[in-house]
Amino acid sequence: MSATLEDLKKTFAFAVPADVLAKLDPAKPLTAQGVDSLAMTAMAVAVQNAFGVKISVAEGLKLKTLNDVLAFVNKAR
Amino acid sequence: MKTRAEAIAFFRQQPDGVRPGLGYEVEAFRPGDAEGVSELFYRVYGDAYPIDMYYIPDAVRSAVELGALHPVVARLPDGRIVGFAALYRSSPPFAGLLEFGLGMVHPEYRGSLILFHLTNELTDRMTALPDVEAVFGEAVCDTIITQHSSALFGFREVALELELMPGGGAGRISCLVLFRNIRDRKRLLHAPGFCAGELRTLVAWAELDREVAVLGQEPQQAAATRLEVQTFAHAGVMRGNVHSLSGDGAAALRKAEAAAAAEGCRIFQWFLNLAEPSAAAGAWLLRQDGYRLGGLLPRWFDDDALLMQKLLDAPVVENINLYSDRAREILAMTLADPLGEPAG
């Protein structure tokens, strides 16, 4: 079964304040929406653990938006 | 660049040549990275980082050669360093227990996953380093993000250092200690009776193979008192290791505390070797002097340590953000009355 944006947002709940998470535009860069580098790190760890995928440096360079992360997770699983 | 002042003066004169948006590689440190690492410390902290060594490239290279520092770096195609994280020797007497930290990213790359990849790389590498037997980290409690990430990397909460670091306007910052064992054997702990239950709980959470013998209040004396004390005047913290205590032990502990207080310290920490009955029994003395339980520091002396801590000012509990029920349980342990009454 494919992961959804809601699945991702649940995974990120510990790393991103609820008000920021609720307003995230999946097509816009996360860092332009109040997600800082510490939160980006935590989100990446959570993605690896929750979805059983490994984010390489090359892949990580492409993950700018929630849509990017979702596409990566569903391709890599 | 032989001194901190020379290095900072040099970096101040150099334009920051880092261009944003480039690809990078994450790898173990190479000797030729040292200049870039020192410059990164300057670009991230200005002249404010408290440890001189990191501003001096030769000192960084030397620490790596000696095994006191195991860094990974994020390197741009032109060789510039834009990310750094390391395992490093800090306060523990046991050289096989290293601290995980110093994570930093150049300001132009803060929106990247560099810190994540540095942490991944270091976590992957640490189990293969022959001289690293265990690793710990001090996760700040003004946010839960670092704590939670550390847990996802396999670290377990074992202690809470109340009000350890100076903070900004919101007061001091407590640190949750998280631990990960790599190579170990079964060990005997001497647990002071007033906290034996708590220590058993922490041993179980950290998945340690330990036999716990409970110590009463009867005196336990070694042939000699052996203490080491460090004071961190800028942070107002005294940190001491208790290897063994003789008949003069109580006086030695009080003398060290008084000397640190005279230097301006308001936070006092003693790490007691639980393999040594006389050191462990020192916890009874400290408890009488107003010290509270801080938790268990596995492998601190190779054998485990009990952390006892005293604060001259009451901790601001509302500022302590914790990510897990276990961490909150450790907070409750630390807030219990030093003489055994539950926190009220």
CATH superfamily of A5-76: ACP-like (1.10.1200.10)
For B17-54, the pLDDT digits (tens) are 999 989 999 999 999 999 999 999 999 999 999 899 99
Of the candidates A37, A46, A49, which has its C-beta nearest B111's C-beta?
A37
CB of B24 within 8 Å of a chain A CB? The answer is yes
**Predicted pLDDT at A20:** 87
DSSP B116-182: HHHHHHHHHHHTT-TT--EEEEEEESS-SHHHHHHHHTT-EEEEEEEEEE--STT--EEEEEEEEES
- Alpha-carbon distance of B205 to B289, in angstroms, equals 29
pLDDT digits (tens, 9 = 90+) for B291-329: 999 999 999 999 999 999 999 999 999 999 999 999 999
Beta bridge partners of A29: A65
Share of chain A above pLDDT 70, in %: 100
SS3 call for A35:
coil
Please indicate whether, in this complex, the C-beta atoms of A39 and B26 are within 8 angstroms of each other: no
B128 and B198 assigned to the same domain = no
Q: Which residue of B has its CA nearest to A31?
A: B111
> Which amino acid is located at B241 in the chain?
N
Domain assignment of residue B248, given as a range: 187-317
Shared domain check, B124 and B198: no
Mean pLDDT of chain B: 94
Q: How many CB pairs under 8 A join A and B?
A: 67
CB contact under 8 A, B105 and A39: no
User: Does the pLDDT value for residue B342 go beyond 60?
Assistant: no
- In a shared domain, residues B118 and B239: no
B195 and B122 together in one domain: no
Regarding whether B208 and B110 lie in a shared domain, the answer is no
Give chain B's domain count: 2
d(CA A32, CA A51): 25
Chain A nearest-CA distance from B149, in A, is: 5
How far is A58 from chain B, CA to nearest CA, in Å?
Answer: 8
Q: Does B115 touch chain A (CB under 8 A)?
A: yes
pLDDT of the residue at A31: 87
Domain membership of residue B150 (yes or no) is no
- Clarify whether residues B128 and B191 are in a common domain: no
Is residue B241 very low, low, confident or very high in pLDDT (cuts 50, 70, 90)? very high
pLDDT (mean) for B278-298: 96
The domain segmentation of chain A, as residue ranges, is 5-76
What is the structure's pLDDT at B338? 67
Shared-domain flag, residues B10 and B121: yes
Q: Are residues B203 and B85 in the same domain?
A: no
B179 in any annotated domain = no
Give the whole-angstrom CA distance, residue B131 versus residue B149.
Answer: 25
Amino acid at B164: L
For residue B145, give the nearest of B324, B19, B16, B334 by alpha carbon. Answer: B324
d(CA A57, CA A37): 15
> Which residues in chain B are closer than 8 Å to A57, comparing Cβ atoms?
24-26, 117
Q: E strand or H helix at B197, and its extent?
A: helix B196-205
The 10s digit of each residue's pLDDT in B204-240 is 999 999 999 999 988 888 999 999 999 998 899 999 9
Checking if the pLDDT of B170 tops 80, the result is: no
pLDDT confidence of residue B343: 45
pLDDT in tens, A42-64: 899 999 989 999 999 999 999 99
- Assign B238 to helix, strand or coil: strand
B118/B231 same-domain check: no
- Here the CATH number for the domain that contains residue B88 is 3.40.630.30
